[in-house]
Homo-oligomer: A and B are copies of this chain.
Amino acid sequence: MKKTIFIFSALTIALLVLFQLSKYTYMSGDISIEIIIAVIAIIFFFIGAYLRTKTAKKEMIAESGINHKKIEELGISKREYEVLVQIGKGLSNQEIAESLFLSESTVKTHVSNLLIKLDAKRRTQALQKAKELQILSQ
């Protein structure tokens, strides 16, 4: 919201500056009014497109954003979450162990805890629930 106000203020100021500029150049008679208007139109066209891109990106991030609150709520620890991410990549326990420099036993412990915390019976179900809860990037 603060940013929106800031952007609109900046836009208004920019508009006023352009008015003064156009007035001056028009008075001097060097540049035709058509070109000034064209430049202004193009500038504002791209400003509009740029702002939409920014807000669209924000929406995308908000949609695909990871819900850190829910991770905490479920009591999932850092290490457990790292294991969850590797599961999402389709790795086996042994492969996860190698990628995180752990023994397979430790990975199994983490996986078991994850299954309890996500209320799942299998790792595939854990993945499905994690995506449902927006804990994992799709």
Residues of A within 8 A of B (CB): 11, 15, 18-19, 22-23, 26, 33-34, 36-38, 40-53, 56, 87-92, 120-129, 131, 138
Q: Name A's interface SS.
A: helix
CB-based nearest B residue for A63: B60
Question: Is A38 a contact of B56 with CB atoms below 8 Å?
Answer: no
27 example contacts (A-B, Cβ-Cβ < 8 A) are as follows A11-B45, A15-B37, A19-B37, A22-B33, A23-B33, A23-B34, A33-B33, A36-B37, A40-B44, A44-B45, A45-B45, A45-B48, A48-B50, A48-B52, A49-B49, A49-B52, A50-B52, A52-B52, A52-B53, A53-B56, A88-B124, A90-B126, A90-B127, A90-B128, A91-B124, A124-B127, A127-B127
